[in-house]
Amino acid sequence: MATPVSDLDIPDLTWADDGTVTADQQRATVAKAAGESWIARNMFGYSILHYDDVVAMLRDKRWHSASGKIMEMSGIDNPEWLARRRTSILSAEGDEHTRLRRLVGPAFSPRHADALRPYMRRVVNELLDEFTSKGEADLAVDFCEPYPIPIICELFGAPKDDWKLFSEWATDIFRIFNGNLHEDMPTIIRAQDELDAYVSDIIEQRRSTPSDDLISSLIAAESDGDRLTHAELIGLCDAVLMAGTDTTRNQLGCSVSLFAKHPDQWQLLAEHPELAPRAVEETMRYFGTVRGTARFASEDIEYRDLLFPKGSFIAPSLAQANLDPTVFEHPGTFDITRDPPDKPQLTFGSGIHYCLGAALARAEQQEALAIMATRLPDLELAGEISWKSATAGIFGPEHLPIRFTPT
């Protein structure tokens, strides 16, 4: 007979969500718990702390994505919002999810991501040109924030001049996570409607005149006579904008802040920009922006002789799994020359919801870090970094003041 998970005597990771616990304190508490146990109690259910358990549970299809339940879990029941929600690839499961991945997967291949590299390099250089003569910048605001948007526009085949519109829509839609939904709801809904109408227009244009972009590929995507519906196309474009902007900009912020504290590693990258692919994997392992994800039990689940009743929530900690000493030798050492480990870093997740945009996100970061290190080899911190709230699902710096020799 499996033991009910609620009977376990395990570390408790419940803390006040009022900003009094810093990210460093949180990290230390989670690391201590991981030293004692593979599982700990948290506010919503259980945190999963060891690499092999995180991977096993993310690959177990009985655990379903909780991304469609964020509102519910946060106690938000605005009927207007709930009525407008649709299943997205992030929350779909079973056959519905398999079908979507089969149809859209090819459009997100490494080959497609590589085709955008020259454009990425142009965007990186143009953004750097704005401030390299000044000798100082707020890297989070001046670089990380704008960087992913023109790339998503290019991916969509949207005119370059429209990138500011996308940026505003993304900012407004991200208000979902600001904890002030009552006030923000009209703005969020308006942004969502405008984005939907905009994407709808592009879809119509591409139906009559296909081009070499993501939307044309998605319209053409067909498998065994199956195709994406108009609503699914819009849903996917929303998902890409949502999942592909804040993640990339915050990961870059985390990565550069890390390099600023390890100047020897930055110097190494400046001298050997070909190390960029390894640097991306190591920064994402050591300091990933997506700290964890969430799943709920779609049925009673037995795992490691424990019973998780239907509806139980788990939070697989990607960040803590990335520091598991049974997988990564000396996990607390940041070393961009580290031999590629047998098992991958987990900041892109694992299992069926593994990041669809991983090839694109890798290319974006590799290009940005390689060029930045070459152009700003003596980059250093010029003041305190201000961080997002420690409980942010996508963590990163709000302000990252740097200085360097002007050029």
Residue number with CB closer to ligand HEM (69 or 403): 69
Give the CA distances from residue 161 to residues 111, 144, 234, in Å, rounded to whole numbers and listed in that order.
26, 19, 21
- Among 263, 252, 286, 251, residue whose Cα is nearest residue 379: 263
Q: Pattern of binders to ligand HEM over 10-39, x per CB under 6 A?
A: ------------------------------
H-assigned helices in 60-158:
70-73, 79-84, 94-104, 110-115, 117-129, 139, 148-156
C-alpha 71/C-alpha 61 separation (Å) is: 22
Q: In the set 217, 247, 320, 345, which binds ligand HEM (CB under 6 A)?
A: 247
Q: How far is the CB of 148 from ligand HEM (least distance, A)?
A: 7
C-alpha 106/C-alpha 377 separation (Å) is: 37
Residue nearest to ligand HEM (CB): 357
- Among 341, 335, 303, 301, residue whose Cα is nearest residue 321: 341
- Give the number of residues in contact with ligand HEM, rule: CB under 6 A: 24
Q: Does 283 bind ligand HEM (CB under 6 A)?
A: no
Q: Does 293 bind ligand HEM (CB under 6 A)?
A: yes
Residue number with CB closer to ligand HEM (265 or 283): 283
Residue number with CB closer to ligand HEM (42 or 247): 247
Rg (CA), the chain: 21
Q: Which helix (H) or strand (E) holds 193?
A: helix 181-208
Q: In the set 33, 144, 176, 361, which binds ligand HEM (CB under 6 A)?
A: 361
Assigned token pair, 314: 């788990």
Q: In the set 150, 244, 397, 401, which binds ligand HEM (CB under 6 A)?
A: 244
Task: Name 182's Cβ contacts closer than 8 Å, sequence gap at least 6.
Answer: 78
C-alpha 370/C-alpha 62 separation (Å) is: 41
Phi, psi dihedral angles at 386 (to 5 degrees)? -105, 130
Residue number with CB closer to ligand HEM (248 or 312): 248
Tell which positions 296-335 bind ligand HEM, by CB under 6 A.
Answer: none
Q: Does 349 bind ligand HEM (CB under 6 A)?
A: yes
Residue number with CB closer to ligand HEM (252 or 269): 252
Q: How far is the CB of 241 from ligand HEM (least distance, A)?
A: 8
| Cα angle, residue 25 at apex, residues 21 and 27 outer, rounded to 5° | 120
Q: Does 217 bind ligand HEM (CB under 6 A)?
A: no
Assigned token pair, 109: 């291949």
Residue number with CB closer to ligand HEM (265 or 347): 347
Cα atoms in the 13 Å half-sphere on the side-chain side of 242? 22
Assigned token pair, 310: 């239907």
Q: In the set 54, 239, 297, 314, which binds ligand HEM (CB under 6 A)?
A: 239
Tell which positions 55-84 bind ligand HEM, by CB under 6 A.
Answer: 65, 67
Q: Beta-carbon neighbour count of residue 139 at 10 Å?
A: 26
Which part of the chain contacts ligand HEM (CB under 6 A), choosing from 168-176, 306-314, 330-338, 355-363? 355-363
Residue number with CB closer to ligand HEM (120 or 404): 120
Q: Pattern of binders to ligand HEM over 98-137, x per CB under 6 A?
A: ---x------------------------------------
**Residues β-bridged to residue 227:** 222
C-alpha 139/C-alpha 280 separation (Å) is: 17
Q: How far is the CB of 308 from ligand HEM (least distance, A)?
A: 17
Query: Which residues here bind ligand HEM, judged by CB under 6 A?
Result: 65, 67, 89-90, 101, 239-240, 243-244, 247-248, 251, 289-290, 293, 347-349, 353, 355-357, 360-361
